[in-house]
Structure 1
Amino acid sequence: MEKDFYRIKRLPPYVFAEVNAMKARERAAGADIIDFGMGNPDLSPPQHVMDKLTETLKNPKVHRYSASRGIPGLRKALSAYYDRRFNVDIDPETESIVTLGSKEGLANLAQAITAPGDVILVPNPSYPIHHFGFIIAGATIRHIPVATASEFMSGLENAVKHSIPKPLAIVINFPSNPTAEVVDLEFYKDIVNFARKHEIYILSDLAYAEIYFNDTPPPSILEVPGAKDVAIEFTSLSKTYSMAGWRMGFAVGNKDLIAALTRMKSYVDYGAFTPIQVAATAALNGPQDYIDYARGVYKSRRDVLIKGLAEAGWNVPSPEATMFAWTRVPELWRDLGSMEFTKQLLKHAHVAVSPGEGFGEYGEGYVRIALVENEQRIRQAVRNIKKFMIDSPKIIEDLKNGVDK
């Protein structure tokens, strides 16, 4: 029987699966793993949101099928959020849709708008769904190395010039996962003008809009006049309110793209569980002091991590936003690559990070460190890493000699 299914053949082995399997083996052997790998928030959601979920569960009517595009009250709450946060007017009926997290929204939009062979421009490194969502849909991916804003724009110009057929869409993600890079509104103006000129859609992932550590909140691409002509933007409650497991996200913007995503979702799901949508409405409409609290927690963790690693001999750039630090592997390990460094750090220091190659070829030589452990655990991780750095010459020598200790 034929087992080489078309779409599965287009997906390489998931890099993070190997790291996850190794974590499971180490834990089974009794190791206490300090896990900076997955961007999985460890904070509890706001209390009033959990209370609303509990209250709504008691209504027998909410246990039926929901609406795939989202309940009206939640779409109105999303529109109100965009108004107060970005001064952007969103029509809740034609310019917004509720998704099962931004990841599902991006994947279903890819299925809705992509024909086999369509060219999609994607930053590299980037979050895996940004390119694999379109690979699954049959697209051809052209990677744009992530660098400075001007270099990124230059890369887009070059990609459009040399792509046949003309690219269908550009994926962007700022603040970026994994690199934590941020951009300003001028960058968005440039990319909107570029996309309108070349008649290319922009798919913006703004999942980390509320996790920033300086005085300038990250902008939305929809703040640019005319952006709705070409752009759709995905947001999520996963990081903003620590509701990752609730799977609650949104898309707003271009009416044609929203309509395409709405039609696709009407065939494949009945929407998120209604009590979750009601609780999400409470999150968006209710008191917002939780966002400042969570931002403060991540900032404090960032500072402890960066300072501690510097003292351990590993100088890691301090991120301006997101819940991640992105850094080159220590110089001693660069010839062995990000995956080998990640595996040996896990084995000898019991600290898990994400290898950069899992985010694309230009991520090789880097690792991503997630701020998802408390400060006490971060300090313990730093102590473990300091010893690992001291022991690294011997560990590397053993590896080169084929000694597996």
Structure 2
Amino acid sequence: MPNFRLSQRLAPLQRNVFADMDRAKAVAIAAGREVIDLSLGSSDLPAPDHVVAVIAASLQDPSTHGYLLHQGTLPFRQVAAAWYERKFGLGVDPETEVLLLIGSQEGTAHLPLAVMEPGEIALLQDPGYPSHAGGVYLAGGEIYRLPTTADRGFLPDFSTIPTEILSRSRLLVLSYPHNPTTAIAPLAFFEEAVAFCRHHQLVLAHDFPYPDLGFDGVEVPSIFQADRQKQQAIEFFSLSKSYNMGGFRVGFAIGNAELIGALRRLKAVVDFNQYQGILAGAIAALTGPQACVEATRQRFRDRRDIFINALAATGWTIPKPVSTMYLWAPLPEPWQTRSLEFCEKLVAETGVAASPGIGFGDCGEGFVRFALVHDRDRLEEAARRITQFLAR
């Protein structure tokens, strides 16, 4: 036995939805199942050719092979600020209001360390993305869950938060388009959230990896259209979804200069930055032709329709999402209170992997999330297997 002990900070991190399903998939593969993995939102689409070409060319330049410190990220920060201004019509200072991240998850997980003291409370959506909770636990914080349910259009009700909770709260985390429910928040809700945070002196963090995945003409707002002076908020972006660059780990934060500065100081003692060649590719993505973004949006919209229609033929009716790369599917009888068991049995018996709603929070029970990360043939095959499973 080892003669040491581990930190108690790890105690709340024993399980998460993706690790649970990873184990279930491994068991299915060991049993000889051919797995169709719809559990993880990792795009199967390639990064744009012009982005890959820039990264490949950088490999031949030895000057890109060293550490990249903050000052060396200024060209990217300038491009990110210009991209945001083009997209949302609001100016951004690349020196003080932009920070490069190794994926947006790095930023959302580290932010609680920069803004919370042990024992203080973060207000998180339920259901919500698991890494939002992980960062709070590592900071020694506590969590108050905000029900984010269909009866309110998947928008939390701030008026229900007890006064004693608000007195200890320091952080509100929102994410729209919402993972896992696929909901979009109207600008009026963001205005309400900003006013709420100003009144209660809360930091407002908005996780925003899907700004380009609104379908059928739906516009996806930024939090800074409600907080135009950047007084309360910080917003996290990713190139993983719009440009299919998940494995390259490129994200960035835009926001209040004091929050950006605090996160930068924290980041400085945790890591440097990604390889300069990857950053050159990210610059090419944000400044180059954007037809690839539209093609990605159309691809996921088409997959949404294909999979919903295929499952509807079995009698499983799923609401049509207006954004993201997921379906948030209410489970049929008799599975409404057994989402984890449903997903474990589904992958064991059919090889189709999905994410159980309970893995995103108690209010996610009764749902399952499908990630639309395969083309038509595989989605139709997955629907066929699900049909057989439900019939049994």
In the superposition, the TM-score normalised over structure 1's length comes to 0.92
Aligned to 2:13: 11
How many residues align? The count is 390
Unaligned runs of 5+ in 1: 392-405
Looking at structure 2, the residues matched to 40 and 343 of structure 1 have their Cα atoms a distance apart, in angstroms, of: 20
Structure 1 residue matching 2:67: 3-state secondary structure? coil
Q: Who is 2:145 aligned against?
A: 143
Measured after TM superposition, the shift of residue 346 of structure 1 is 0.9
**Per-residue deviation at 1:151?**
8.0
Q: Give how far 1:150 is off.
A: 6.0
- 1:299 alignment counterpart: 301
Aligned counterparts, 1:307-386, within 5 A: 307-335=309-337, 337-386=338-387
Are residues 150 and 85 of structure 1, via their aligned partners in 2, closer, same or farther at CA, if it must alter by over 3 Å?
A: same
Cα RMSD for the two superposed structures:
1.7
| Structure 2: runs of 5 or more not aligned | none
State the match for 2:275 in structure 1: 273
Per mean C-alpha deviation after superposition, the further-off stretch among 373-382 and 218-227 is 218-227
Mapped partners of 2:305, 2:42: distance in 1? 19
The percent identity for this pair of structures is 37
How far the C-alpha of 1:229 sits from its partner, in A, is 0.3
Task: Please state how far the C-alpha of 1:214 moved relative to its aligned partner.
Answer: 2.2
State the 1:364 CA deviation. Answer: 1.4
Query: Does 2:228 correspond to 1:244?
Result: no
What is the Cα deviation at residue 322 of structure 1?
0.4
Tell me if the contact between 2:166 and 2:200 (Cα under 8 Å) persists in the aligned partners.
no
Q: Does 1:261 align with 2:274?
A: no
**Aligned partner of 1:368: which letter?**
R
**Is 1:38 aligned to residue 52 of structure 2?**
no
Letter of the 1:304 partner, please give it: I
Q: 2: CA distance between counterparts of 1:81 and 1:355?
A: 36
Distance 1:345 1:154, change over 3 A: closer
SS at match of 2:79: helix
Q: Out of 90-99 and 22-31, give the one that drifted further.
A: 22-31
* Residues 125 and 156 in structure 2, CA contact (< 8 A), matched pair in contact too: no
CA contact (8 A) 1:68 1:265 kept: no
Matches within 5 A, 1:70-89: 71-89=73-91
Query: 1:177 maps to what in 2?
Result: 179
CA spacing shift, 1:30–1:149, aligned 2, 3 Å: closer
Distance 1:294 1:281 in 2: 18
Question: Is 1:64 aligned with 2:60?
Answer: no
- The equivalent of 1:285 in structure 2 is 287
Q: Is the 8 A contact 1:221 1:227 kept in 2?
A: no
Which residue number corresponds to residue 109 of structure 2? 107
Which has the higher mean CA deviation after the structures are superposed, 155-164 or 165-174?
A: 155-164
3-state DSSP of counterpart to 2:310:
helix
What is the letter of the counterpart of residue 195 of structure 1?
C
Deviation at 1:111, TM superposition (A): 1.6
Change (3 A) 1:276 1:317: same
For 1:369, the aligned partner's letter is: F
Contact 1:118/1:139 (8 A) holds in 2: yes
Write the letter of the residue equivalent to 1:5: S
Partner residue in 2 for 1:403: none
SS across alignment from 1:208: coil
Q: Secondary structure at the match of 2:34?
A: coil
Written as runs of structure 1 = structure 2, the 5 A alignment for 1:111-260 is 111-147=113-149, 155-159=157-161, 161-163=163-165, 165-226=167-228, 228-260=230-262
